[in-house]
Structure 1
Amino acid sequence: MPREPRPRPRNADAPPHRVAVLVRDGVLPLELGLVHQLFGAAVAPPGAPDAGRRLYAVVTCAPAPGEVRTDADFPVLVRHGPEALAEADTVLVPASHGPDEPDVRGGSDPRLAAALARVRPGTRTASICTGAFVLAAAGLLDGRRATTHWKSAARFRALFPDVRLDPDVLYTDDGDVLTSAGEAAGIDLCLHMIRRDHGAAVANDVARSTVVPPHRDGGQAQFIARPVPEPERRASTGAARAWALEHLERPLTLRELAEREAMSVRTFTRRFHEEVGVTPLRWLNRQRVERARQLLEETDLPVDRVAADAGFGTGASLRQHMRAALGVSPRAYRATFRGPAALPTDAEVTPPP
């Protein structure tokens, strides 16, 4: 998972962040819709001077305005041409089913290359799924870390050897260039960009309103088909995970979780990794970090109390895990996402070891 970014300072009088979605024939309606849905649901939080104001303005554009074919039985009418790219703060390229993965540098469609040439230097650029082929063909990913759908990874690597492809992750963040894996990973990427722009509280509200998790553990490996016998799939670790989330403050053991599913520790560990994509310990630590983040954002509890309620036991342990997962200390995280006024007094903060 990328290091947790600091949200950009936001001027309440500034216009909404402009997101331009560049579509082509064969565009996947789900990918187009999720961008509009997620960014469209992001509003200034309660208590802000502009509470409730939309934080993003999303437009759909194409190399030429007009009717664009989708991979479904209906087209979309795109009213904006490539001029929208020149005005965008973020340009996002979703995937397309059809001849959408360029085989040559510059892209198979000269109109597409001309459209991308309108993007201003420094504009944040992102892709969903095989939209990464378009960014790579335009030279935007050379020397950068990127990902794409695991089914297309081998072809991508052969076409674009200068790109540092990571086919195991859900998304990558290389500063002003971001990429994601399959369609659903586009949700993860959009939430990450919202969190990066406006903080965890705004991103979490968007996740809640669209009924998706604010963060998914694991990478693409958990979705790659494996020859697992059907009887192996009947049992699940879901009940143990749900129970663990209700008891994070306790010193949970792997044996205790396995017993809740009537499995051996070995079977539970294997099944857990198959279903979630990470080990039980890594998942548990991640959930505790998420609980700590929530408490740091929403309460004034001292860091030691946050550590205890999240199951880390001590403030030192919480600091260690937050630095490993997010790259910041609990105090710095609270200052970033709640503001300096929310910080406890020095007497309430355990000094670093």
Structure 2
Amino acid sequence: MVTEEQIREYLSEYRDPFLKQDLVDAKVLKNIEIKGDVAIISLKLGFPLGQYQELLKKELTEFLNSKAPSLKVELNISWRVDAHVHPAKVKAMPNIKNIIAVASGKGGVGKSTTSVNLALALRALGANVGILDADIYGPSMPIMLGMQGKNPETIDKKSILPITSHGLQSMSIGYLVKPEQAMVWRGPMASGALQQLINDTQWKDLDYLIIDLPPGTGDIQLTMAQKIPVTAAVVVTTPQDIALADARKAVTMFNKVSVPVLGVVENMAMHTCSNCGHEEHIFGQGGGDILAKEIGVELLGSLPLSLNIREQTDAGEPTVAKEPESEITQRYLDIAQRMAAKLSLEAKDFKASFPSISIENT
């Protein structure tokens, strides 16, 4: 007979590809019950599984059968996204479990395109997701989501409802001004607008809110880090040396405000010729991997320089929504899952699970 302790030992040898840990150390093992020659094992992971749920069940069953051929295994695998602690000493926001900032040191690296596709990927995996366009001077989310010209509604004339597109809740200053209107504001005004956008929007039960930050490390970024309960960050870069140099500054900024960096996404890693299929590293090779190792985080994934990505995003139908079965979409899904799995290992905010309790003398 295989004992519970033996099964626990077997599970401690199985290293999950997304968590980069075994199932015992990652604290996803919830219960082992042995009934005769059947082991009923319950696992609960802290990130959306999507199709990986069935794949994990299959691979883990085969792994356990290789360890104990006579054992019959019944696996109960579920997932739930919990709220995690944030370093900013500000009150957690209602209806938002986790806020992930997507940043870059410089512009032109495809950060906004990456942000919207990662948000859509998390949504495709089963999570409730919102996206906030924090670029006050150059909002691009209305175009990318096909919602340009849409205006948000208000119920009480104090708060606004997010615009929903492709299953994503979204908010941007671009929904509130005319497309041709320039936001000629000083830094404090832009920072105040950002706080108002996130605080006055009636977000609905979000597992993740993705914040698409403008490039750089100025007023907007500092306001975001100090006034908004950001849980973690992801840095987008291209492989070229200039982009990597500025990406390091973005990482340094997050380190100064104690926001954990989940990893690096390398965008425009290579270009494949549409005529002959030749692959060429136009912006250099391996830069994202070098940066990730240098700052001690994971390279979450690499994305190609693709005409389709640009055309689909400009048309308001980002790749993950337009081509859900494509190879590029699979890359976005993989990056999103690695990002969410990494976040699931951070310390949880158990206070967010309980309602506020008020006690009054009567």
- TM-score where L is the length of structure 2: 0.27
* Larger helix share, 1 or 2: 1
Bigger relative contact order (CA 8 A; separation at least 6): 2
* Larger strand share, 1 or 2: 2
- TM-score where L is the length of structure 1: 0.27
